[in-house]
Structure formats: structure tokens, C-alpha cells
A and B are shown apart, each in its own frame.
Chain A
């Protein structure tokens, strides 16, 4: 069937324009002042094209295009693009949020030292994210997967003079690597078993292989899930995400809230037919634990960004849980709604932090500490409204998009528990929907707690530092470039844009298409599951809404009533926090545990080895001397090698006279150069 010929062209424009932005900006010191505008323009073009493409392709069958990349012996590796509904939704989402975030960053990052590099990094990130969503091949996806990891690393460590940021970026990178090892192993196993890495062909070949109860395919599925666990910050690898908040806030909004962390969910959706019951059960377990853990930890944090980070972890847990209970469409739907409200929250928080740093001035207080905030709603009304809308969506208030998607997930989880407890004769399964409900309750609590402490009541910083009162009076909404992205994102939080019915996601235009995608999966349970979900839908809705309202009310009473607020002025130490609070504040001490188990263990082994090594003191001495001599020479050579390349060019220009003057250490490049010449000579002689 002939496809419209402009599809390929459009998708190239979409994918390559952000790359172009990266290439233009990475060495763009000279166009520093215009870096932001260039980034917005190029990503904006990409967004317009993807909107156009989505509109054009929405009612057509998926677009497929493959070509052979390279051969190894008889097997060939392909490269190609797939544009089905899932990819189209993700394309529009990523380009839209990327454009908005870059627009916002123009003023937010104004005056930064490496302003142009920031936009270059965002460019390479957007490019690689688009690569992930459009590729039709697991190997290529892995390449882009590592690229987003790299850009995340670069952006977390953007303020590289800050020691914390550097540590956080390293942590994120290393923890992600752990997950990616699993991912890579999964890919290798798949290649060995199926001989292809094309999603389409993998799914075609599955029925033959799955019948033999192939343990390797289970392992491959678990490997891919590992990749998801790393990138989507799932338990037990979620520890990097709270630290990743050391990066610039808009970058966090784009990467660590809306898009990159959702890549794991996207991957699961792509390879979903591959996952068997064992893997799905693992997903449900991990998802529910993560959802609960994130929500619980968020409840007692005081860092405004960390709360959102834990909230992101919790929401991603919901998505993974949905994946595990066969509700892929619900997971994708939640991914979309979450992307909007969480990005909106981050951008609003960015504005708040900006103003708070103005208020705090040069003192050493933390502008991200919500204990110091309060009473900002009058000063920043637009920010407050955006923040409020996004919060409502996040806690799943009725009439918001978040309500639609979260309800869908929870009712599916409940239905799944019904089904499984009947199958396995074991009511313990109900702990999963229970955890989901508790997480909902906690979500409503911490989100309203944050809202109350940041915007309502009286400002607590000026209460202790009255001299800053006049500065507080001058606080204001951010400028229009920062407001517009926030308003646009907040615009996506009510239900109307997603569904015609405020209480049922089944009327959603996204779901109607993505359901089709899922129906290719031949799980018999799906029919039962859908039936049960309809059955549980109303009760879920009522329980959720009830829990949310109770929780919001509780948070309001606890934090908005004035006498309680005095209790949490920054300088008062509340009598020793309870065990639960301590657990939550330290995220169940998982970091400490890892530190203790992994890092300390390694260090102990290292120390032990060091002691052993000292036994060979003589050779150590010799080595040490060698090392010093060596490093001096290496330092010397290093200078020369960097310079040497340039001298090599100047050598060829200014003639042989230079050669004699060169000092001996420069020779090695000449050696290598001459070897190249002779190799080329031999090859040409052979070919002639």
C-alpha cells in the first residue's frame, strides 16, 4: 500500500532538527545570546512537524520503513523507523515539552556561564529521545537509550563547579549503567534466540518460540525490565532520581519528570508481547513497591524539588504497575497526563525557587526548603494558579486528566487482583491494590502539604528575618517567557482535552487508538480483565475521590492552621522525629544501605587488597618511582601531543626546516603519520 511520501521527510525533519540544534550550539560561544532562541526555533519546527505528522497519520495504519544497516556474515542488522500511534503520541509530547522547556529556560538560565551548552545538551537529549520513540529496532533503541543517559548525565552535572551536582551526575550515570547491563544482556539473548531485533519481527516470531516454554525468553524479558528499572527509577534503582535534582530545574522538568524517565515505560510498551507471566508479576511487584515507597518518602521531605522527584518515582511506579497488570494503554495514558502536570509543576517550582533565591539573597539558607516559604500566592498569582491546577491533576481530583488515568490504572490493578486471587486461590494478592490506594492517599497528602506550605499562610522566612520584608513585598510572577510554558502545560490538566466524559477514560481519543495496539497481544485474560475493570470502575472512583478529599483536608488542617505553622519555623527543632518520619525522610535508608553494602564492601575489599599489596613493598616502591617518572613524562608528552597535532599541520606547511627543530618527544606522531602514509601507499599500489 503506498504511503504518503512526505512521512519519511517529515520524520527526518522532526528527528534531525534537535540534532542540528545540538551541532550548532555545542561550540556556539559566539552566538551565546541567541542560543536559547535558536534552540526554541529548531525544536519548535520539530514540534510543528510532528503535530502535522500526527494529524496526518492518526487514522492511517502504522508507517514502517526498514533498511539494512550492515552485514556480519549471513546475518544482517537493520535500521528503520516505526510510526504507530504510540510513537506519534510520544513524538508530539516530547517535542512539545522540549520546546516549552527551552522557551522557559531562555529567561531562567539567562546569564549562565555555559548558556549555549545548556541548550546544546537539551538538543542532543531531544534528538536521542525522538530516536528512542521512532526506531523500529532494539539495537538502535539501545544506542539512543545510552545517549539520553549521557545527556541526562551532562545536564545533572551542568553546574560542574558544585560538588554535589558532580556526585549526583556520577551516581545517576552509574546506577543507570547497572540497569543497562541487564538491558544489553536481554538484547543479546534475544538476538541469539530469535535472530532479529526488529520489534515487528520479534513479535511475529514469538508464537513459535514461546510454546516451548523458553527460559531464555523469560530471561530476555527480565533483562529488558532491568533497563526500565534503571531508566524509569524503579525500586531498587530509584535512588538516583532524587539526587538528579541538582541539575537546572527546567532540565529536570523535561528529563527527570516528563520524558526520559518515561522511556522505560515506552520500552515496556514496545516489547510488551515478549513479557510473560513471571516478568509481569515482577513488574507488578516492583511497580507497587515503588509507588508506595516514592509517595511515602515524599511525605516528609522539605526540599521542594525532592518532593517532586519522589512524586515522579511514585507515579512511574503506577505506570509500571499498570504495565504489569496488562493495562498498557492505561500506563501510556498516565505517562501522557503525568508528563504535562509534572512538567508544569517543575516549571512553577522553578519560578518559586527563582523568587526565593531573590528573597534569601546572600545568606546561606536553602532556597529550595519549603519550611522557609509560605504566603506566595498573593505575590505570584499566575504561578499559584498553574501550580494549583497541576497539583489537582497530580493528586487525582475529579475532573482532571490525572484523575482519569490514575483511576483507570487502579481499577485495572483491582480487577487484576480479583482475577489472580481467583486463579491462585490466594487473597494476599489484594495487597497490591491496597498499596495503590495507600499511595493515592499519600500522594494527595504530600502534594497538598507542599502546596499549603509554599503558597498559603504567611511567609516564614520574613517571620524570622524581618529585614527582608521589603524584598518579600517586591516578589512577583516570572516574566512572560516563563509564564507561557507554565500556562500551556496547566492548560492540559483538565479532563476535556483527553476525554469527553469526566469520569471515564474509555472515551479518550488516545486510548481508542492505543487499545488497538494492545489488542494484538494474545493474552486470554484480557477479556476477563476488561470485564472486571468495568465492574470495579465505579467503586474505585468513589474510593479514590474519598481518600483524596480526606487526605487534602488533613494536610490543610495540619499545615495551614497558623499555630501548627509556628511549630515548623526553620529554626525550631521539632522534638525528635518519629521512626516513620525518619524512615520517610531518608527514603527507607536505601542509600545508606547501598553505601554500606556495595560501596563499603568494595572499599573494604580494596583496603584488604591494599594491605596485601604492601607486602610486596619492594616492587611497590619501584612501581611508585616508575609511576612518578612516567607521569612526568606523560604530562610532558600530553602537552606535546595536543600541541603536536597542530605542529604537525604547521610542519607540513612551513617545510622540513621545522623538523630538525622538533624535540624528540614529538616524533611519535611523525612515526604514526609516516606509517599511515606507507599503508595508504601499499593499498593504492595493490589496487592499481
Chain B
């Protein structure tokens, strides 16, 4: 009955290793922390790199077709891809807090430990094929994020962390409530079994809708989708910038991946499919609209980016819906580009706004003319966020729109068509606020002559982030080909 737990141990080696370095991080800090501060930090970075190598190594394994490890986890090639991106996110964050003078307070092993832990949680979340392991991963990520959000060491940070926590606890509660109903009707926690979806679909309509909506709510919270997005601006404003960049990307990617998995499982049943399409497209429409329209009125860079990432999450959610190999490519492409764009935007934000806690756009006045390199970097990132050529943002949106349009034509679903139209119109709307910082940078005159310190380390980091945003446009086909090859589409 019970399989041998060591049978598939090779498949979870990266997770075990991550757990090891999480513990090791504490020990190394204890032993070497007093002698030399760089040792624990170097340990973390090397650990993450090794973990990424281990994940990449999983491409060589023969992957099981069924969930493994007591049917708790399931893995395929796209999951490995997502895990690599997640690993890169963690690695970049660690590098960031080590090279940036302004995040120097964060260069402590505690932050490092929680970043490693949330990477571990995100991996479990993505691979989960059982509600229990899903919740486990989700909560590891959440709890780490609550704590990380607090590391700005001021009142605002503590308040935002607490808000984040309260709201998170509330939505996890809703999610578990929904799961309990799904368990009641589906008779199982193993949502990967085809039986589960079919049994669940037989439940009374009200309870079915009720439970699925509540369940998705918890994931919407992680991804900061409407209506669970309200925490995002406050938390983004209060938390340290590096951390904001981190959890504007990592939980989002993990949450969207889980949404994609769930959608894939449920889509086999027509009843569930119609519910899922309705909920997901409605939420995507609302998120894009709410995110973009609210961002229009923001003068605080971090709040603006918060709303922007809500809208971006809406776009990525739309990429899930068509559910074919083309759309999967667009989903993964968008995910990877989103990572670079968002990360770049926040890193530039930290550089440009210096030590001021207020990220008011006025402070940027004239900076771009004094330090053109900085300005050009931000220009590329912002244009990519809007989705204009010649950046990868355009390629991502292009892939998304084509697959979405095709899907709306095939299904004849008005809601999908509406989603498509809203997405296109909003690309134009987003132009206004994404270009606002650029307006201040280049066109607004100022008497202030202070310069922003821009070290070589920072320049290199910027270039590494910005480069994919250019390559993704010019070598679009190679990029797509790579993704398709890696994921076996």
C-alpha cells in the first residue's frame, strides 16, 4: 500500500538541500558570524546557486507520470522551469542585499534564512498535488513573507507587516474553509486524481461555486489579485525595497503556477471548466482594470508599482486560460520577463530615490539628464512594462494577446473576448503612469544638482537585469524556442 519513501528521493533532492541550507545558514551564522560577517552571506549565496544547479539537474531525471512521495507531489518539466525562475529570484535578491549600500541593514543571515525558506515553500507549493502539501508550501512562503515585510525596522514596516499577516491569515482561513468543502464533496485531498474533479462536479451548484471561490481566494491573496489585492500597496510601501521586489515576484509566480495547475486539473470536467473560466477571467479583468486605474493617480513610486504588479498579475492570469501549448509558452515567457521587469524597476527605484522613505516621483526631477545611464535603464524597464517594442515586454504581450484572441474565437465566450479587449485597452492606459517617472527624469527641470551614487557592482547588476529585456525582443524566436525545448512543448 505505502510506497517506499526513498524510491523517489532523487526528485526532491533540491528541496531537501534547501532545507539543509536553511538550517545550515543558522549554524554557520552561529559559528562564523562573529569572526567574519561575509562567511554566512557567502554561504547563503553559494547554497542558492547549488540549489539552482540541482534543480537544473532534474532535467536529466526520468520524471514520473504520476504524483509521487505518497502522492503528495507531482513534477513535470514546466515545474522545473518555474523552480529555476524562483531560484533566480532568490539568488538575485540575495545578491541585491549584498551589493546595495541602501539595503545594508538587510544583509544579515536572518533575512537570508527567510528568503531560502520561502524559496523552499514556493517549490513545494508549485509541486503540490495534495491540498495538504499545497497549504504547507503556501504557509511557508506566507510566514516568511510576513516576517520579511517587517525588516524595515520602523513603525510603518511593522504596521504593514501586521496588516499583511492579518489579511493573510484571513484569506488562508477562507481557503482552508473552501478546501474542507471540496474535501467533503470530492472525498479526497488528492486533487490530481481525475476522480476528484468529476466527483466534485456532482456537488450542489451553490456549494461547488462557494468552495471553489473560497479556495481560489487564498491563491488570489498570494498573487495579489482582485479582490484580494488591497494589502499590496500598503505593504509595498512599508517594507524594504529589496524585500518588496522579492515578494512582488516570488509568491506571485508560485501562486500563478498553482492556479495554472489547478486550472489544468479542473478543466477536464465541463462544469468545473465553466466555473473556472468565469472566475479566472472575471478576476483577471477586474485586476487589470483596478490595478491600472489606481496606478494612474499615484505619485509614490512604490505604490504605483504595487498597483502595476496587480495589473501585471491580471495579464499573466489571462495567459493561463487558453490552456494549450502555445498559451503555456506565453505564460512561462511572461512569467520570466515579468521577473526581470519588476525586479529591475524596484532596483532602479531604490537607487534613484536614495535614502528618502518617501518614494515621491518629484524627487526624480532632472536626474535623467545628469545621469543618463540610469535614466536609460529605467526607460527600458518602463517601456517593457508597458509592452512596447523594442523590449521583451512587447513580445510577452504579443504572445499573450494572440493566444487569448484565438481562444476567444474558438470558445465564443463573451467574457474571454471582454478580457481580451480590456487587456488591449489597458496597455494604452498603462502608458500614462509608466511614463510618469520618465517624464520627471528627463523633462522636468530642477535646480537640485545632487548625484546618485551608482557603483560598478550596481551597474553590473542592472545590466544583467536589463539585458534579457532587450534580448527577449531581438532574439524572440530563440527565446521561445528555448522555453519550448526546456518544457517539452
Contact = CB atoms under 8 A, between A and B. Distances in A.
B32 interface: no
A626 B210 contact: no
A683 B210 contact: yes
A674 B279 CA distance: 17
A72 B183 contact: yes
Contact of B230 (A618, A630, A637, A675): A675
A671 B230 contact: yes
Interface string B165-184: 01100110010000000011
Contact of B214 (A73, A629, A637, A679): A679
Contacts of A622: 110
B414 interface: no
A679 B209 contact: no
A598 interface: no
Interface in A665-679: 665, 667-668, 671-672, 674-675, 677-679
Contacts of A686: 209, 213, 275, 278-279
Given A633-B159, A683-B209, A672 B187 contact: no
Interface string B4-46: 0000000000000000000000100110010000000000000
16 contacts: A73-B199, A616-B29, A618-B33, A626-B150, A629-B158, A630-B150, A630-B158, A630-B162, A633-B162, A667-B163, A668-B163, A678-B226, A679-B217, A682-B282, A683-B210, A686-B213
A618 B110 CA distance: 10
A685 B282 contact: yes
Interface residues of A, number: 33
Nearest to B166: A668
A634 interface: yes
B231 interface: yes
A73 B159 contact: no
A86 to B, nearest CB: 34
A685 B279 CA distance: 10
Contact of A74 (B30, B187, B214): B187
Nearest to B196: A73
Specify the main secondary structure of chain B where it touches its partner: helix
A629 B227 contact: no
B2 interface: no
Contacts of A626: 150, 158
B228 interface: yes
B226 to A, nearest CB: 8
Interface in B227-243: 227-228, 230-231, 234
B297 interface: no
Contacts of B226: 678
A615 interface: yes
A665 B167 contact: no
Contacts of B275: 686
A424 interface: no
B155 interface: yes
Contact of B167 (A74, A668, A682): A668
Interface in A617-667: 618-619, 622, 625-626, 629-630, 633-634, 637, 664-665, 667
Interface in A562-592: none
B155 A629 contact: yes
Report the 6 A-B pairs with minimum CB-CB distance, sorted nearest first: A73-B187, A678-B227, A671-B230, A686-B209, A629-B158, A668-B166
Interface in A372-396: none
A381 B158 CA distance: 69
Contact of A675 (B163, B206, B228, B282): B228
B451 interface: no
A22 to B, nearest CB: 28
B279 A672 contact: no
A72 B184 contact: yes
B321 to A, nearest CB: 16
B270 to A, nearest CB: 15
Interface of B: 26, 29-30, 33, 108-110, 150, 153, 155, 158-159, 162-163, 166-167, 170-171, 174, 183-184, 186-188, 199, 205-206, 209-210, 213-214, 217, 226-228, 230-231, 234, 275, 278-279, 282-283
B79 to A, nearest CB: 28
Given A70-B184, A72-B187, A687 B230 contact: no
A71 interface: yes
B162 A682 contact: no
Contacts of A685: 278, 282
B115 to A, nearest CB: 15
A629 B110 CA distance: 18
Nearest to A672: B170
A664 B184 CA distance: 39
A679 B159 contact: no
B230 A674 contact: yes
A71 B184 contact: yes
Interface in A277-304: none
Nearest to B199: A73
Contacts of B199: 73
Contacts of B170: 672, 675
Contacts of A672: 167, 170
Contacts of A677: 227
A79 to B, nearest CB: 16
B227 A679 contact: yes
A626 B162 CA distance: 12
Given A672-B167, A677-B227, 20 more contacts: A72-B184, A73-B186, A73-B199, A74-B187, A633-B155, A665-B159, A667-B163, A672-B170, A674-B230, A675-B170, A675-B227, A675-B228, A678-B226, A679-B214, A682-B279, A682-B282, A682-B283, A683-B210, A686-B275, A686-B278
A139 to B, nearest CB: 16
A166 to B, nearest CB: 30
Contacts of A73: 186-188, 199
B43 to A, nearest CB: 16
Q: Which of B170, B186, B214 has the most CB of A within 10 A?
A: B170
A74 B185 CA distance: 9
A71 to B, nearest CB: 7
Given A72-B187, A687-B205, A637 B162 contact: yes
A625 B157 CA distance: 13
A617 to B, nearest CB: 10
Given A616-B30, A671-B230, A682 B213 contact: yes
Nearest to A629: B158
A675 B213 CA distance: 12
Contacts of A682: 213, 279, 282-283
A633 B166 CA distance: 13
A527 to B, nearest CB: 42
Contacts of B227: 674-675, 677-679
B213 A683 contact: yes
Contacts of A671: 163, 167, 230-231
B145 to A, nearest CB: 15
A616 B108 CA distance: 13
Contact of B30 (A615, A664, A667, A668): A615
A489 to B, nearest CB: 47
Contacts of B186: 73
Nearest to B209: A686
Interface in A63-104: 70-74
A627 to B, nearest CB: 10
Interface string A529-540: 000000000000
Contacts of B209: 683, 686-687
Contacts of A74: 187
Contacts of B30: 615-616
